[in-house]
Amino acid sequence: YALYHAKKRHRGGAVLFNTDHKDKINLDARIESVLKQANLERELSLVFQPIVNVSDHSILGFEALARWASPTLGEVSPARFIPVAERAGIIGELTKTLLRKALAAATCWDAHLRLAFNLSAHDLNSNESALAILSVVERSGFDPKRLDLEITETAFAHDFAQITHSVEMLRRLGCGISLDDFGTGYSSLTRLHALPLTKFKIDRSFVANLHTKPASYKIVKSLLALSADMGLDCVIEGVETKEELQALKALGGTSVQGYLFSPPLPEDEARYLAAQHTHRYSQIAV
Ligand code: C2E
Ligand code: MG
Ligand code: MG
Ligand code: MG
């Protein structure tokens, strides 16, 4: 029933999957069975969202974000299908396919630009899965020093010793390691110091209207101070308005990502921007 509606809605546009709990479970089961039989190479793609330098509005790099166009289900959001793939034990296959495609796309970019790529905690849960990532990076020929692998604090709920070991392997290869959605999860200061992180990404929930929300403002301020203390870079996610950007700039934020500058872009549009060494978002004056 839920699927029927999801499909029907899809013909008219986006699939909303706006269903109750029981429908959600049924739909997840359906997504799982379709995903298991999907042609990942053909159906998975990536869009790329610019990460922008606050001081001159130049592009520092792009974050790759997964998209799944299923012939049966239509467009399914990564927030929906990534957790399904994790539970179904097939996330490793998805990660490898997506990482290969992201690296291939980024190989065409100007050499000063970085690629950010999201890993699942499951990708770091064993030496084998971490080695699989390592080998995709090595075979791509892309300089690992230009790659930032993003993990979320949900990884801390897994075997922390193994996660740390996997992250260390990827660091040794030269990859940067970013803590995504920072501030929303399971971080303890001990664990933040134990992981060889290179970057924080402050979650967009703290950025929305921070100029009028004292609590959000104070949280962003302390997260920026913490990253500076630890000697880490910090990307602020989900910047949608000039007012937010202004407030972030005053707080000393240096890199931002969000709809104010650009939504995630198809590969060819990202490639076009990435080829222009001097591209600036100069129309956004602050
Ligand atoms: P994320 O890594 O935190 O990515 C940021 C999400 O925020 C993206 O949603 C992006 O489109 C959205 N976003 C960017 N700027 C704005 C803004 O200004 N306002 C608002 N409201 N949203 C903004 P998306 O693409 O739907 O991805 C959702 C999540 O799915 C990602 O969150 C990430 O956790 C996961 N994901 C996406 N691609 C992959 C992937 O290839 N592998 C894995 N493991 N997870 C992925
Ligand atoms: Mg991310
Ligand atoms: Mg995030
Ligand atoms: Mg997220």
- pLDDT tens digits, 92-143: 999 999 999 999 999 999 999 999 999 999 999 999 999 999 999 999 999 9
Q: Mean pLDDT in the chain? A: 91
120 CA: nearest ligand 1 atom? 44
Q: Cα(237) to centroid of ligand 3, in Å?
A: 6
Mean pLDDT for the stretch of residues 65-85: 97
Mean pLDDT for the stretch of residues 209-224: 94
Strand, coil or helix: 202: strand
Instruction: Please check whether residue 97 is in contact with residue 126, taking contact to mean a CB–CB distance below 8 angstroms.
Output: no
180 lines ligand 1 (CB under 6 A): yes
Structure confidence at residue 1 as a pLDDT band (50, 70, 90): very low
233 lines ligand 1 (CB under 6 A): no
| Residue bearing tokens 């509005």 | 57
117 CA: nearest ligand 1 atom? 41
Res 13: pLDDT: 42
Which range among 5-19, 38-52, 175-189, 219-233 shows the weakest confidence by mean pLDDT? 5-19
Cα separation, 54 vs 66, in Å, equals 26
Res 25: pLDDT: 81
Give me the half-sphere count of Cα atoms (radius 13 Å) on the Cβ side of residue 189: 5
- With b meaning 16 or more CB within 10 Å and e meaning fewer, what string describes 117-139? bbbbbbbbbeeebbebbbebbee
79 lines ligand 1 (CB under 6 A): yes
201 CA: nearest ligand 1 atom? 3
Res 6: pLDDT: 43
Res 4: pLDDT: 38
Res 286: pLDDT: 66
Structure confidence at residue 199 as a pLDDT band (50, 70, 90): very high
Question: Could you say which ligand is closest to the alpha carbon of residue 260?
Answer: 1
Question: Could you say which ligand is closest to the alpha carbon of residue 77?
Answer: 1
98 CA: nearest ligand 1 atom? 41
Cα separation, 192 vs 106, in Å, equals 29
Number of H helices, E strands in the chain: 11, 9
Instruction: Please check whether residue 168 is in contact with residue 196, taking contact to mean a CB–CB distance below 8 angstroms.
Output: yes
Res 17: pLDDT: 55
What percent of the chain has pLDDT above 90?
Answer: 79
Question: Could you say which ligand is closest to the alpha carbon of residue 51?
Answer: 1
Cα separation, 283 vs 240, in Å, equals 15
**Closest C-alpha to ligand 1, atom 21:** 238
237 CA: nearest ligand 1 atom? 15
Q: Cα(265) to centroid of ligand 1, in Å?
A: 12
**Closest C-alpha to ligand 1, atom 23:** 238
Tens-digit pLDDT profile for residues 6-52 = 444 444 444 555 557 778 888 899 999 999 999 999 999 999 999 99
Which range among 51-65, 252-266, 267-281 shows the weakest confidence by mean pLDDT? 267-281
Tens-digit pLDDT profile for residues 200-215 = 999 999 999 999 999 9
92 lines ligand 1 (CB under 6 A): no
Res 20: pLDDT: 72
Structure confidence at residue 191 as a pLDDT band (50, 70, 90): confident
Question: Could you say which ligand is closest to the alpha carbon of residue 121?
Answer: 1
Res 96: pLDDT: 98
Tens-digit pLDDT profile for residues 143-171 = 999 999 999 988 887 789 999 999 999 99
